[in-house]
Amino acid sequence: MPKIVDAFDRRELVAQAVFQLIGERGMAHASLRNVAAQANLALGSVRHYFDNQAELMDFAFRTNSERVHVRALDRLEELESKPLPAQPELLVEKCAGVLEALLPLGGESSRDAVVRMEFMLAARTLVHLGQAALDDYRATGAVVGRVLMQLLASDLVIGSRKPVDEAERLIAVLDGLSLRMVLQPAWATPEQSSATLRRHLASLLGP
């Protein structure tokens, strides 16, 4: 009796091979042939699940993006399910804990961040990745927006804050920290980046 292959699992296996190649050698090396070899599959097997390179890259990009944002959403749901802390330090800590899921702070999150950055840069010139890049940005914006709504809903906030403006500033902070940690890990350590994120969040609460 022939072995039944789960299509979802096989596509995930191929995506993992893409991540491995991009993380180690860059986007240019993630060809169908190289991906098949990395996944220990025949080239025909990869083409059975993906019609072409563009479809494979779109799937891998979206899989990577989902992994990053699911980590943040799991923490966000916990934050939103409980009353806001009355102490500023604790409130900042809770909000930072959600946003740190979007940063390359080590292990799997760092590997995902490298791959995600490669995809985002490639989307600048590869039309077939454009929609996935836009969806990724929107997913980040949704997480950041919901965290800010929690923060700005606190009585600890001093003055008037525009949520859209603050969301753009916070996304810029997260993007900058991610870029520095990926490209200059000796200078931008996880500890420094976490502290910078917390200082930014604390500044929203006033002096």
pTM confidence score: 0.89
Task: Enumerate the domain spans of the chain.
Answer: 1-50, 61-203
Give the C-alpha separation, 5 to 202, whole Å.
51
Q: Quickly name the fold that domain 61-203 has.
A: Tetracycline Repressor; domain 2 (1.10.357)
* Same topology between domain 1-50 and domain 61-203: no
pLDDT digits (tens, 9 = 90+) for 15-72: 999 999 999 999 999 999 999 999 999 999 899 999 999 999 999 999 999 999 999 9
Query: Considering the domain 1-50, what is its CATH architecture?
Result: Orthogonal Bundle (1.10)
CB 116 within 8 A of CB 126: no
Residue 12, classified by CB atoms within 10 Å of its CB into exposed (0-12), middle (13-18) or buried (19+), is middle
pLDDT digits (tens, 9 = 90+) for 134-184: 999 999 999 999 999 988 888 878 777 888 999 999 999 999 999 999 999
pLDDT digits (tens, 9 = 90+) for 71-87: 999 999 999 998 888 89
